[in-house]
Amino acid sequence: MAVDALCSPLGPPACEKDAKALQFIEEMTRSADAVQESVLAEILSRNAQTEYLRMYNLDGATDRESFKSKIPMVTYEDLQPIIQRIANGDRSPILSSHPISEFLTSSGTSAGERKLMPTIQEELDRRQLLYSLLMPVMNLYMPGLDKGKGLYFLFVKSETKTPGGLMARPVLTSYYKSNHFKTRAFDPYNVYTSPNEAILCPDSFQSMYSQMLCGLYERKQVLRLGAIFASGLLRAIRFLQLNWQELAHDIRTGTLNLKISDSDIRGCMARVLRSDPELANFIESECSKENWERIITRIWPNTKYLEVIVTGAMAQYIPTLDYYSGGLPKVCTMYASSECYFGLNLNPMCKPSEVSYTIMPNMAYFEFLPHDPNSPTVTSDKLVDLVNVEVGKEYELVITTYAGLCRYRVGDILRVTGFHNSAPQFSFIRRKNVLLSIDSDKTDEAELQSAVDNASVVLNEFNTTVVEYTSYADTKTIPGHYVIYWELLSKDSSKFPTQDVLEKCCLAMEESLNSVYRQGRVECNSIGPLEIRVVKNGTFEELMDYAISRGASINQYKVPRCVNFTPITELLDSRVVSSHFSQRLPHWTPERRR
Ligand code: AMP
């Protein structure tokens, strides 16, 4: 059939395959409610005999009314005992009638450990389906992507086994190691410069080095540059800053750095390597310049856009990305999690502040809890169905998945921006309770408080206490790092804690932070050493005066535990008397799941 004949309301497709994908999006979004109804019926009927649904006496019902009246809304903590049983090896149908194939380790934590999300084999197909919709949409806005390649920095992370023998790993590690990714069919619109062997190498230095080397060899073919998160792309730029001499040496000589010991990478790089002194000279001349502004377009001159998530916590990296890329468009293609992949951006060339994700109704059953920060008691009778959300309102996302999560609160707050057909579109507002985030780490107020408490124990013998504190995610450094402002009270001025003691406090804080933070510090190098800035006595009173001068109520004033408003960070910085960094890495090993 001619492509024109399949023209989609979204625009003329680039090829027949794209036409089918766009048509699928149209079908799903036009009949969003009917699709949701049948997704719920399918989930409930196939899981009718599971322990979980039987516990709530659903008695095989598959309709919305029975589901809503009998099944409660839950959090991860509610499900944890059940999840632990599965992790310990109970293979009976507890949540899902299909066998749990593995656990996906979320970057959200519970009691300091990554959450374990059960998944089933066929979820891979659903994720693959969502991926297959991304390029057809992109091709509508950016023609000619079949004329070059994408330089995407993609990584796997370490994996562990639960006591019952199931694999536990991040969702992307699971996907990159699957045949869906490894043996994907050639698609001229989606060719990467990074070989699978480089992506799949668990050593992050070797993986990044070889991906960068391939990207440099193919610098003129690269049409788009990306990573999952903005922080990841900036880490790649930092890597280039630190390693360009060795990379240029390899390009000059056509040999591979001996630090790359992975035999699979060495095997595949042998096919890529060639001596190219002209390219080596170019890399050296660009990278040795003091000024790295627009380095991305200088090295990869045909780049049309950056593909990275810059919504949510990642918005803090937009100015730095603009600096290195000369303001190239930043494309956020999808919204997903370990629990479930949710949807895609149908207008990918829009400004970051305008990004909206259209939830695909075939991925799971979606409900929405109206979000009211002033009313903490929530009940499931307030839940609204996908097609009934209202434009302009904020909701917390609640999902029921094929893998057996029922009315599960994801923790993301979304605002409805409009509809595509009958499917709503959402802007990502924030993740609930996250105070600090640099990469995929998420630190909440309670975690920060207990880290400060643990670190202040180090000060006891100096008769010193932390009287006030606040924090700030400093992303001006690459990688970014946590800054904690401390106001100290020392009862014995002759014994004020020394530099060495405050450095120990930094490490003590890091040791107390959750495992995703510590993994970022140790394995991924995506978070820099934590810094404590000691401020002059009286600084937090000044902070309160400032807040009151701007209209805060003196009775209700509470010290903010995280600050990012520039006048406040400037005030704090101007009162700093000393600053101290963690000198060692905190403890981290791939988690043994109890
Ligand atoms: P994880 O469970 O570690 O896979 O993390 C999933 C979480 O990452 C989501 O629940 C969101 O909080 C966040 N996230 C994923 N995609 C996006 C996006 N496109 N924009 C903003 N935040 C996102």
Contacts of 429 (CB under 8 A, 6+ apart): 312, 394, 412, 413, 414, 415
In angstroms, rounded to a whole number, what is the distance separating the alpha carbons of residues 506 and 531? 6
In angstroms, rounded to a whole number, what is the distance separating the alpha carbons of residues 585 and 124? 35
Worst-scoring range by mean pLDDT, 76-90, 507-521, 537-551, 579-593? 579-593
Structure tokens at 430: 């924030």
Which residue puts its alpha carbon closest to atom 9 of ligand 1?
A: 337
Query: Could you tell me which of 154, 228, 224 has the C-alpha nearest to residue 190?
Result: 224
Query: Could you tell me which of 152, 169, 271 has the C-alpha nearest to residue 215?
Result: 152
Strand partners, 580: 532
CB-side neighbour CA atoms (13 Å) of 58 = 27
Coil, helix or strand for 117?
Answer: strand
Torsion, Cα 322 327 333 335, to 10 degrees, reads: 30
CA of 583 to the centre of ligand 1 (A): 31
Q: How many CB atoms are closer than 10 A to CB 131?
A: 19
In angstroms, rounded to a whole number, what is the distance separating the alpha carbons of residues 42 and 53? 13
pLDDT, tens digit, 9 for 90 and up, residues 243-256 = 999 999 999 999 99
Query: Could you tell me which of 256, 191, 251 has the C-alpha nearest to residue 221?
Result: 191
Contacts of 363 (CB under 8 A, 6+ apart): 126, 130, 340, 341, 342, 343
Given the structure tokens 């059960």, which residue do they identify? 118
E strands of 323-363, at which residues?
330-331, 334-336, 341-344, 357-359
E strands of 216-360, at which residues?
222-229, 305-309, 330-331, 334-336, 341-344, 357-359
Q: Looking at the predicted structure, is the pLDDT value of residue 594 above 60?
A: no
Strand partners, 8: 11
- Distances from the Cα of 509 to the Cα of 323, 337, 469, angstroms: 32, 28, 13
Structure tokens at 278: 């002209």
Ligand 1 touching residue 312 (CB < 6 A): yes
Structure tokens at 432: 């609930």
**Which residue type does 468 have?**
E
List alpha helices for 71-217, DSSP H.
76-87, 123-141, 171-176, 179-182, 196-199, 204-217
Q: How many CB atoms are closer than 10 A to CB 3?
A: 14
Which residue puts its alpha carbon closest to atom 13 of ligand 1?
A: 337
Coil, helix or strand for 475?
Answer: coil
Q: Looking at the predicted structure, is the pLDDT value of residue 212 above 50?
A: yes
CA of 440 to the centre of ligand 1 (A): 8
In angstroms, rounded to a whole number, what is the distance separating the alpha carbons of residues 403 and 98? 8
Ligand 1 touching residue 332 (CB < 6 A): yes
Q: Looking at the predicted structure, is the pLDDT value of residue 226 above 90?
A: yes
In angstroms, rounded to a whole number, what is the distance separating the alpha carbons of residues 382 and 492? 56
Q: Looking at the predicted structure, is the pLDDT value of residue 529 above 60?
A: yes
Query: Could you tell me which of 151, 158, 248 has the C-alpha nearest to residue 208?
Result: 151
Average pLDDT over residues 510-515: 97
Ligand 1 touching residue 230 (CB < 6 A): no
Average pLDDT over residues 48-61: 97
Ligand 1 touching residue 229 (CB < 6 A): no
In angstroms, rounded to a whole number, what is the distance separating the alpha carbons of residues 391 and 534? 45
pLDDT, tens digit, 9 for 90 and up, residues 32-45 = 999 999 999 999 99
Pocket test for ligand 1, best of 116, 412, 443 (most atoms within 8 A of CB): 412
How buried is 109 (Cβ within 10 angstroms: 0-12 exposed, 13-18 middle, 19+ buried)? Answer: buried
Structure tokens at 588: 């981290």
Q: What is the CA angle 540-546-552, rounded to 5?
A: 105
Which residue puts its alpha carbon closest to atom 17 of ligand 1?
A: 335
pLDDT, tens digit, 9 for 90 and up, residues 131-185 = 999 999 999 999 999 999 999 999 999 999 999 999 999 999 999 999 999 999 9
CA of 215 to the centre of ligand 1 (A): 27
Average pLDDT over residues 291-307: 98
List alpha helices for 273-412, DSSP H.
277-287, 295-299, 318-325
Q: How many CB atoms are closer than 10 A to CB 221?
A: 16
pLDDT, tens digit, 9 for 90 and up, residues 302-357 = 999 999 999 999 999 999 999 999 999 999 999 999 999 999 999 999 999 999 99
Q: Looking at the predicted structure, is the pLDDT value of residue 1 above 70?
A: no
Ligand 1 touching residue 484 (CB < 6 A): no
Strand partners, 409: 398
**First and final CA of the chain: distance in angstroms?**
56
pLDDT in the model for residue 374? 76
pLDDT, tens digit, 9 for 90 and up, residues 364-382 = 999 999 998 777 678 888 9
Given the structure tokens 């992506």, which residue do they identify? 199
Q: Are strands 423-431 and 408-420 parallel, antiparallel or unpaired?
A: antiparallel
CA of 309 to the centre of ligand 1 (A): 9
Query: Could you tell me which of 111, 210, 105 has the C-alpha nearest to residue 153?
Result: 210
Average pLDDT, the chain: 95
- In Å, the largest CA–CA distance within the chain is 86
Give the chain's length: 594
Is residue 169 a contact partner of residue 102, using CB atoms and an 8 Å limit?
Answer: yes
Is residue 206 a contact partner of residue 247, using CB atoms and an 8 Å limit?
Answer: no
Coil, helix or strand for 485?
Answer: strand
Query: Could you tell me which of 583, 462, 590, 449 has the C-alpha nearest to residue 528?
Result: 583
pLDDT in the model for residue 63? 98
Q: Which atom of ligand 1 is nearest to the CA of 345?
A: 19
In angstroms, rounded to a whole number, what is the distance separating the alpha carbons of residues 198 and 269? 9
Query: Could you tell me which of 97, 24, 8 has the C-alpha nearest to residue 361?
Result: 24
Q: How many CB atoms are closer than 10 A to CB 390?
A: 11
What is the torsional sign of CA 168, 173, 175, 180? negative
The DSSP 8-state label assigned to residue 155 in this structure reads: -
pTM, rounded to two decimals: 0.94
